[in-house]
Structure 1
Amino acid sequence: MNKNYEDLMHSDGTTAYETFSVIVPSAFIIFIASIIIHSFFRTNRITQITAEFILIVLPFIFIITVLANYATDIIILSIIASITLIGLLRNKCTIIPIQKHKNYNYVTLGRCTIFFLTVISILAVDFMVFPRRFAKTRNYGYSLMDVGVGLYVFASGALSYNNQFYRISIQKSITSAVPLILLGSARFIITQEIHYQVIDSEYGVHWNFFITLATVQILSSIVFNLVNINAIYAGGILLFLHENLLQLGLGEYVLSDIERNTFFRANREGIVSSLGYLGLYFLSSAFGKMFDIKNSSGKFSWKLIFKFLSLIGFLLWSTLILEKNFGVSRRLANSGYCIWVLFIGVFMFALLYVIELLENYVCGAVYIPVLFEAINYNALMFFLVANLLTGAVNIIFDTLSMYTMPSLVILSVYMICNCAFTYILFVKKIRLK
């Protein structure tokens, strides 16, 4: 591993607020884009998709790169722009037919926002236009890249809370996890064959994002089938147990420079962090049940608002306490990290719920971007294509030496290719499960 490359791909992190502030504008961007599309674009799919890419995807790219230093200003301007649009376009929208099989729109928007920001960051981090402080932290700290995998687990858990009632069999869970295992294995083999630079300290030598997802999926099924326990208790117990093991020396062992000469030592980050991600998955599942998000009607509810505000306050307080005592570590997926991810996830879902209500007020309907529908339908393929394209870009270009404009052009083309491919699969109803 090139030491300079590893140093560039890691950082000492940034503040919790700055990490939070570059994520929040995405909700207002979606609202503004949806109102504009409602008002000025008809039902032509090509026109809609083009507008969505220009009004949503490109701003996402700019906010986490060249505009990152102005995140607070962007939030303020977005709020002003949103209020202005509400006043100007009230009842003047062109109603675009909404897919009837969805009634938890803010959840779809939340999941896809997470997916978009994560996929953009996967390649953006390889360019100097991406602020280095947003790269993955070495051991402890806050950064944008750190929250990606955690938010993906959160989004998956929030929509799978019914598993604890219907008890998906262990065999079925393993079978459905096979594609993830194959993808993870293929990624390892390909990167080894082409000598693609992979940082071992992120997940391990053989481990990666796909293997972590497969592990969480299988373990969650085992727990739900063998133990009759509520998800919130399961998540709390797992995080408590995980944190205690880390404090008893396991955390120091994982973060050490010990030689990777056995399978466990070689993949200690991925193996150990899986327990934390499993706890996060259970707590996310409990959140899904608590807010009954699969039956959300998009109607105003003081009860739901109160639940959101109470949980957000509790998670923020818990994050501050855990960060002070144990730190926040993505490599370990410790309690501080998992609760921090939960805070971001719940806050974004709450904000998008309010935005859904406002859009209903302005336009009488909620516009779900076509690209979001496509990615929500085929999220795993979206991530797979992103990984393949990221590898191709890094093989073809010396990304770390590129100037700002070429970097932004490549990132834009990368997202065009990924979105177009995912949309084509959506139209043809081809899905990787």
Structure 2
Amino acid sequence: MSRAAEAAMAASYKSLKEDFVSNLTGGEIGEINYVTAVAPSAVVLWSVLQSRQSFFKPYTPLAFVVDFLLNVAAILLGTTLYANSPILLNTSLLALAGLVYFLPKQAAPKKAKLPPSKQTKDVEANPLPKKQFLTTYRGTMLVITSIAILAVDFRIFPRRFAKVENWGTSLMDVGVGSFVFSAGVVAARPILKEKLVGKSTPLSTRLYRSIRHSLPLLVLGLIRLYSVKGLDYAEHVTEYGVHWNFFFTLGFLPPFLALFQSAFEYVPSFAGLAILLGGAYQVALEFTSLKAYILIAPRTNLLSQNREGVFSFFGYLAVFLAGQSAGMVVIPRTPRKKLLIQLAAWSGVWILLFAFSTNFRFGLSLSVSRRLANLPYFLWIAAFNSTQILAFCAIETLFFPALYKSSAASPKEEEEVYKASTSRVLEAFNRNGLFIFLIANLMTGAVNLTVPTLHVSDLQAIGILFVHAAVVTALAVGLDVYDISIKV
């Protein structure tokens, strides 16, 4: 075949792929909830196996395989082969969990008691302990994100799950917002530490630290920009713009948040700040020409070329602040019953606000737009993630009620209980989340440059996706086994 013919085929394939990802409409929120429920259902089965049979202790190669199948492969199946019947997959996982639950419980090994003189006395409990349900929440979010960024390039991944063009909801739209929300949850920990010691970091110091944290993300954004343009990789311009990408959004968040932390003195609630920011941005969209500018303006300069990324940043900032608000609730040591009530209340608040913003009869009659990151999108992401955290907290409470129960437990004992009740795979994804996400992106690019993803069969697609998921998981667990943390 001549070079001209090869070039023509490559151009034709690129055009086909661009058409494949354009003019998309999302699915219904209910369907998205059924698909994302696969992760909690799999966690229920994992929890039953561990709490009733101690299946993952010790962590043998067989335990790793089952851990991978439940917390990674099940999510892959839920977004591909079972995409049209997620209820069947959820029911199967829960039915199997019920069967295991009613099997005879394995007796727990007796722990040797230390002599009274060696026992820990008057140990002050860690006020900000590691939470199993938070690790599970962030780990499953990173798993589904790492899978979806490649799966979307195959026909086996339903088009309604891909990012929508202008209006509507989809699985990948909720994934992008959830990544930002979960980052906000984690960002609450340093603020809580400051409160515990009674010190406040000066604005100049916060800005310096935030810029230092942002630089690696901005460098990654530049590398992705160069890779996409240099390799002529198919892209969807209306996602973030001509040059902007998700790493730039993540990179610019820390400096803005350093400034917003000062506003906390006047509005003592991150949720309040998020709602004010989301509301102000929506007012600008509705009562100025901003919405029309973002959607239909010609791309004549640097700002207009990247208008989606620039202006949606305010919506993502509101999402991040909502995540921080959740982190202020879930990270501190709190009695389980009280925590469940707080999480249920906040989930209810976000759901009601979202319903009000979208209701055509009694509300604001607004439509969700990930491209704009408008008020309904921000409220949808806050409602979805708060409910997910509530679900994982309820699962943890049901199957591991002894977690954080004793305030007299030593840090070592609490760490042992945490490890025994937490998936090693999800812990590994959570530990090096951003690095694993970067590797998954690089692998996605490599597959797209070497495989005609739109022309492979469903069986081939599943095989490629399974290998992709296995390699990413093996890398994450390998780093965890060797106690390596890579901060990006």
TM-score of the pair, normalised by structure 2: 0.81
Aligned to 2:382: 342
Distance in 2 between the 1:357 and 1:92 partners?
20
Aligned to 1:328: 368
Aligned to 1:51: 66
How far has the Cα of 1:48 moved from its partner?
A: 3.1
1:173 to 206, 210, 233: 210
Q: Once the two structures are superposed, what CA deviation does each residue of 1:384-429 show, in whole Å capped at 9, x if it has no partner?
A: 0011000000011000111111101100111111122223333251
1:159 is the counterpart of 2:198: no
Structure-2 change in CA distance of 1:373 and 1:41 (3 Å) = closer
How far has the Cα of 1:227 moved from its partner?
A: 5.8
TM-score of the pair, normalised by structure 1: 0.91
1:419 is the counterpart of 2:458: no
Aligned to 2:227: 190
Q: Is the 8 A contact 2:45 2:94 kept in 1?
A: no
Q: Is the 8 A contact 1:12 1:141 kept in 2?
A: yes
408-417 vs 33-42, which moves further: 33-42
30-39 vs 53-62, which moves further: 30-39
Aligned to 1:284: 323
215-224 vs 379-388, which moves further: 215-224
Structure-2 change in CA distance of 1:221 and 1:63 (3 Å) = same
Amino acid at match of 1:357: T
1:403 to 457, 462, 471: 457
Q: Is the 8 A contact 2:80 2:158 kept in 1?
A: yes
Q: Once the two structures are superposed, what CA deviation does each residue of 1:110-159 show, in whole Å capped at 9, x if it has no partner?
A: 01111111111100000000011111110010100111111011111112
How far has the Cα of 1:45 moved from its partner?
A: 4.9
Aligned to 2:170: 143
Q: Once the two structures are superposed, what CA deviation does each residue of 1:234-271 show, in whole Å capped at 9, x if it has no partner?
A: 21111011111111221221111x33221111111111
Aligned to 2:305: 266
Distance in 1 between the 2:223 and 2:48 partners?
42
Distance in 2 between the 1:93 and 1:79 partners?
24
1:373 is the counterpart of 2:427: yes
Structure-2 change in CA distance of 1:114 and 1:94 (3 Å) = farther
Structure with the greater alpha carbon radius of gyration? 2
Q: 1:401 aligns to what SS in structure 2? A: coil
Q: Is the 8 A contact 1:62 1:68 kept in 2?
A: yes
Distance in 1 between the 2:188 and 2:402 partners?
32
Q: Is the 8 A contact 2:221 2:247 kept in 1?
A: yes
Aligned to 1:15: 28
Amino acid at match of 2:319: L
How far has the Cα of 1:432 moved from its partner?
A: 2.6
Q: Is the 8 A contact 1:154 1:284 kept in 2?
A: yes
Amino acid at match of 1:171: Y
Aligned to 2:88: 73
Distance in 1 between the 2:43 and 2:129 partners?
17
Amino acid at match of 1:117: I
Aligned to 2:18: 6
Amino acid at match of 1:64: T
Distance in 2 between the 1:89 and 1:343 partners?
38
Amino acid at match of 1:287: A
In the comparison of the two structures, how many residue pairs are matched? 425
Structure-2 change in CA distance of 1:12 and 1:376 (3 Å) = same
135-144 vs 46-55, which moves further: 46-55
Aligned to 1:108: 135
1:314 to 343, 349, 355: 349
Amino acid at match of 1:305: L
Equivalent runs, 1:211-290 vs 2, <5 Å: 211-225=248-262, 228=265, 229-230=267-268, 231-248=270-287, 249-256=289-296, 258-289=297-328
How far has the Cα of 1:56 moved from its partner?
A: 2.0
1:129 is the counterpart of 2:142: no
RMSD of aligned Cα (Å): 2.5
Q: Is the 8 A contact 1:207 1:270 kept in 2?
A: yes
Q: Is the 8 A contact 1:86 1:362 kept in 2?
A: no
Distance in 1 between the 2:145 and 2:477 partners?
18
Distance in 2 between the 1:423 and 1:132 partners?
31
Aligned to 2:120: none
Q: 1:22 aligns to what SS in structure 2? A: helix
Q: Is the 8 A contact 1:371 1:419 kept in 2?
A: yes
Structure-2 change in CA distance of 1:204 and 1:233 (3 Å) = same
How far has the Cα of 1:330 moved from its partner?
A: 0.6
Structure-2 change in CA distance of 1:157 and 1:410 (3 Å) = same
How far has the Cα of 1:163 moved from its partner?
A: 4.7
How far has the Cα of 1:222 moved from its partner?
A: 2.0
Structure-2 change in CA distance of 1:283 and 1:95 (3 Å) = farther
Identity %: 28
Amino acid at match of 1:127: F
Distance in 1 between the 2:147 and 2:104 partners?
31
Q: Once the two structures are superposed, what CA deviation does each residue of 1:203-229 show, in whole Å capped at 9, x if it has no partner?
A: 111111111111112211122146623
Give the unaligned 5+ runs of structure 1: none
Q: Is the 8 A contact 1:164 1:224 kept in 2?
A: no
80-89 vs 345-354, which moves further: 80-89
Q: Is the 8 A contact 2:146 2:440 kept in 1?
A: yes
Distance in 1 between the 2:273 and 2:257 partners?
10
Distance in 2 between the 1:75 and 1:381 partners?
30
Aligned to 2:45: 32
Q: Is the 8 A contact 1:322 1:336 kept in 2?
A: yes
Aligned to 1:393: 447
How far has the Cα of 1:55 moved from its partner?
A: 2.4
Structure-2 change in CA distance of 1:109 and 1:270 (3 Å) = same
Amino acid at match of 1:204: G
